[in-house]
Structure 1
């Protein structure tokens, strides 16, 4: 403020001096007034911008409120003990950590874990995003980095705390690899961050710990990842079944659930869901209860909520009766093959249009899988091809609704080839000729098409009658489908016991994917 007043005083004195010399100062007054207005506007914008970015966030979140990430929480808490027990660490001659990088898919709880870290260490918590440091003006990003660390230290001293945590979300925007001449401003901002984290001006009191999150750790600059800057990289992955159950228990706490609600069954159905999706699932189930004017949230509401989170809201499209019957036959083809391969996989079948899909079959995996065998990949291809083959067996032709089925089957076949699980054995993916790859993919799809046809042929006559029931009911649960399948009485082929999981859907048009 003193500098501004000094410049203003000198400027006024200079104008008075020119006026005394009979110099026309009107143009100068106009330019000076315009400069002052622009200066004030930029100053207000900068103050408001930095005020919004650097306002310490409330961090009332604890690690007990974060479910499904027990390993990541334990690893993070061990790293944070360097802040909690600094005297003991100092006696052992251990260097304090400068940064912790949280990596993983979106919605897994990286931001929550950063807030819980501030609570756990009783530190000042400031939150920002990598995109907020990117500006078209040279030097602005680097200045914001300096101001952010300065504000963290000042706030810690003001609140009598000896540590502060700065959380930078989407740090890949700020910390990408340097060397691109068209992004020199990004490089200057990153250079300033590197200096602040481990530079000549870095101070130990108060200690500033940087916690960053990204979905793309592979594109970060190596200088940012070296020890002394981001000393720990913690993987925050999608939760497993037990983790999903823990998250569901946390999210449903205090909500009026019906006695019939089985959270463990819901955890099985939600394979691949992130923590954010599970939170949305519980919220959508409560919204359905509100729409239906019910006092409790039932299992059926949770099932509909899973469909909505996976496929989207029901659309207003009204297919013709012929289209509905074809969709039902298509989905029954998927369901029959899935159930033959592993009894109990089909959760429910529906022909209610959601998103781009006219209908879909949802399947439940027995356990979470991380490795896939050759037999499992073949059986997934069988399930993907079953819908269009059921149409062909019943109508004598196929439709465009199986486009995504074919894309999925082709992708699985390519995976088999590239992983050395095909006839041609182990291959070098980079040097594999496209002609060889396409020939082998066609062979795999042709062979599995034959196998799938043999599985569905015994059910050719019975599918039509049950498809009519599916059209009338719109949605059939897995138990009702299995009762029908048992009543048909065909013997299931042996050797088909590997789990198949996911959602298989029939699309509404040839350009859509599912």
Structure 2
């Protein structure tokens, strides 16, 4: 109301002064200059009224560590660090300096944010959260000012709630904590410097005590000054869950869902190798959506199978292919499946001819055990599985198609891994110290040998194409048990003396 009165009064005063003969030009110029300076100060300082009235606010967290499936080692490390906040009086007896910061690293969706929320609940601390991108603005000084406001708010929130400690969580800290580049000055540097200053200001005598928790999936990009001891004292890896942890996560997310008697959580955990916690939650949610679409009262194993495919490959598309393309794709995928089942028994979970994402068909594999260390034999088996589709097309159609492009990229990456890890005939080498010709020859040698082994496997199980092909074209999906039964039947059949006649028969049919 006062602003409106002032806006209406100023023109009247100016008009009156002009009427009585007073020169108002100096007053107008001074008012314009003062307004401009005020505007610049407000923009550079990031202290607009709107910003002051809108502090970063985070509701009280109810998440606890029992809500996080798996990650037992990471949870143990976090709890140990948090115990320093809880048992602060005992620290003095041992002369322990309390930790100032925890850095959670790991792939996206593994539960880093959940871990931070559970930490606040575990210690009964005030919890304030922000993302790194919130501190980066186009106006100079805004990020640094928000850092100051964040620490101030955390302490005020703890004092207001009569809490002895506060936890500040910054997600995507690599956005503001990236490595500084020589003498170049960036707005990020000013924000980072302010963060370092605030962290250094935390001491054991302060009440409430503040603990910084940050998360990133690019720890290698962080500035050395940020991750040195005394700032982020602990780096805790929150990695992708193993099979046991995946089962725990799935059990947490299916508690409120009506499951059918045929649902096998162990099988789902096995089929979701390399899935993050977020992806596993999405699998259970998508399975419930499939059941809802069918108006089914219970969620069945089939719904979970569809959900895994959707999370892994994307939604099923309406892409219509010709009969010739469908037949070629079917034989291509069967080539992958046959080789996979021979070199890794019980690995094929499903062969599908339903297009999802960019794929016209796919083979879903379910490893019998999680593997994190690979021998040259393991890598060669992966390459042979990748080459199986293209070799099947060669044997049945006399040539390859563009559908093998991604398979070849995967195979070449695996070949480079063999060479780079010193598992090839070149021995232990540094890639940039070997000539391009030598590398090319070694790649070709490895690929040619594995191509011959792949052809030999497919020739041995050639009858599988005839039996599985008809089923796959008709039903579009072939599950692992049915496929293994066809493999066993083909193995029991007498070997054909003339494989070319069988190839010709399949092509003509």
- In the alignment, the residues of structure 2 paired with residue 464 and residue 304 of structure 1 have an alpha-carbon distance, to the nearest angstrom, of 26
112-121 vs 431-440, greater mean Cα deviation: 431-440
Structure number with greater CO (CA < 8 Å, separation at least 6) is 1
For 2:100, the equivalent position in structure 1 comes to 98
Offset, 1:462: 4.3
What's the C-alpha RMSD, in Å, of the aligned pairs?
2.9
- In the alignment, the residues of structure 1 paired with residue 50 and residue 488 of structure 2 have an alpha-carbon distance, to the nearest angstrom, of 68
1:442 counterpart SS class: helix
Offset, 1:87: 1.2
Q: 2:392 aligns with which of 390, 393, 412?
A: 390
- In the alignment, the residues of structure 1 paired with residue 360 and residue 400 of structure 2 have an alpha-carbon distance, to the nearest angstrom, of 15
**Is 1:357 equivalent to 2:359 in the alignment?**
yes
Q: 1:228-285 CA distances to partner (integer Å, 9 max, x unpaired)?
A: 1111110000000000000000000121000110001100000000000000000000
2:396 counterpart SS class: helix
**Is 1:307 equivalent to 2:309 in the alignment?**
yes
For 1:86, the equivalent position in structure 2 comes to 88
1:212 counterpart SS class: strand
1:362 counterpart SS class: strand
- In the alignment, the residues of structure 1 paired with residue 184 and residue 456 of structure 2 have an alpha-carbon distance, to the nearest angstrom, of 59
2:405 counterpart SS class: helix
177-186 vs 374-383, greater mean Cα deviation: 177-186
- In the alignment, the residues of structure 2 paired with residue 475 and residue 52 of structure 1 have an alpha-carbon distance, to the nearest angstrom, of 54
Question: 1:283-432 alignment to 2 at 5 Å?
Answer: 283-432=285-434
Offset, 1:23: 3.2
Offset, 1:339: 0.8
**Is 1:449 equivalent to 2:451 in the alignment?**
yes
Structure 2 residue runs of 5 or longer lacking an equivalent are 1-9, 495-509
Q: 1:276 aligns with which of 275, 278, 296?
A: 278
2:361 counterpart SS class: strand
Offset, 1:432: 2.3
Offset, 1:374: 0.9
Question: 1:58-77 alignment to 2 at 5 Å?
Answer: 58-77=60-79
Q: 1:458 aligns with which of 448, 457, 460?
A: 460
Q: 1:481 aligns with which of 465, 480, 483?
A: 483
> How many residue pairs align between the two structures?
482
Q: 1:33-80 CA distances to partner (integer Å, 9 max, x unpaired)?
A: 966995999699845446656213321100000012111001000000
Q: 1:324-368 CA distances to partner (integer Å, 9 max, x unpaired)?
A: 111110011111111111221110100100000000001111111
Question: 1:230-241 alignment to 2 at 5 Å?
Answer: 230-241=232-243
For 2:22, the equivalent position in structure 1 comes to 22
Offset, 1:375: 0.8
Offset, 1:184: 2.4
- In the alignment, the residues of structure 1 paired with residue 54 and residue 299 of structure 2 have an alpha-carbon distance, to the nearest angstrom, of 39
- In the alignment, the residues of structure 2 paired with residue 44 and residue 219 of structure 1 have an alpha-carbon distance, to the nearest angstrom, of 27
Q: Given the two structures, how large is their TM-score scaled by the length of structure 2?
A: 0.89
- In the alignment, the residues of structure 2 paired with residue 78 and residue 319 of structure 1 have an alpha-carbon distance, to the nearest angstrom, of 57
Q: Given the two structures, how large is their TM-score scaled by the length of structure 1?
A: 0.88
Q: Is the 8 A contact 1:61 1:112 kept in 2?
A: yes
188-197 vs 26-35, greater mean Cα deviation: 26-35
**Is 1:218 equivalent to 2:187 in the alignment?**
no
Q: 1:93-114 CA distances to partner (integer Å, 9 max, x unpaired)?
A: 2111110000000000000000
Q: Is the 8 A contact 2:97 2:204 kept in 1?
A: no
Q: Is the 8 A contact 1:110 1:213 kept in 2?
A: yes
- In the alignment, the residues of structure 2 paired with residue 146 and residue 21 of structure 1 have an alpha-carbon distance, to the nearest angstrom, of 52
Offset, 1:91: 3.1
Q: Is the 8 A contact 1:393 1:460 kept in 2?
A: no
Offset, 1:445: 0.5
The 1:239–1:53 alpha-carbon spacing in structure 2 relative to 1, beyond 3 Å, is farther
The 1:21–1:57 alpha-carbon spacing in structure 2 relative to 1, beyond 3 Å, is farther
Q: 1:181-235 CA distances to partner (integer Å, 9 max, x unpaired)?
A: 5542211111111010013899621111110000111111111111111111100
- In the alignment, the residues of structure 2 paired with residue 202 and residue 186 of structure 1 have an alpha-carbon distance, to the nearest angstrom, of 29
- In the alignment, the residues of structure 1 paired with residue 178 and residue 21 of structure 2 have an alpha-carbon distance, to the nearest angstrom, of 57
- In the alignment, the residues of structure 1 paired with residue 353 and residue 325 of structure 2 have an alpha-carbon distance, to the nearest angstrom, of 10
Offset, 1:433: 2.1
Structure 1 residue runs of 5 or longer lacking an equivalent are 1-10, 493-514
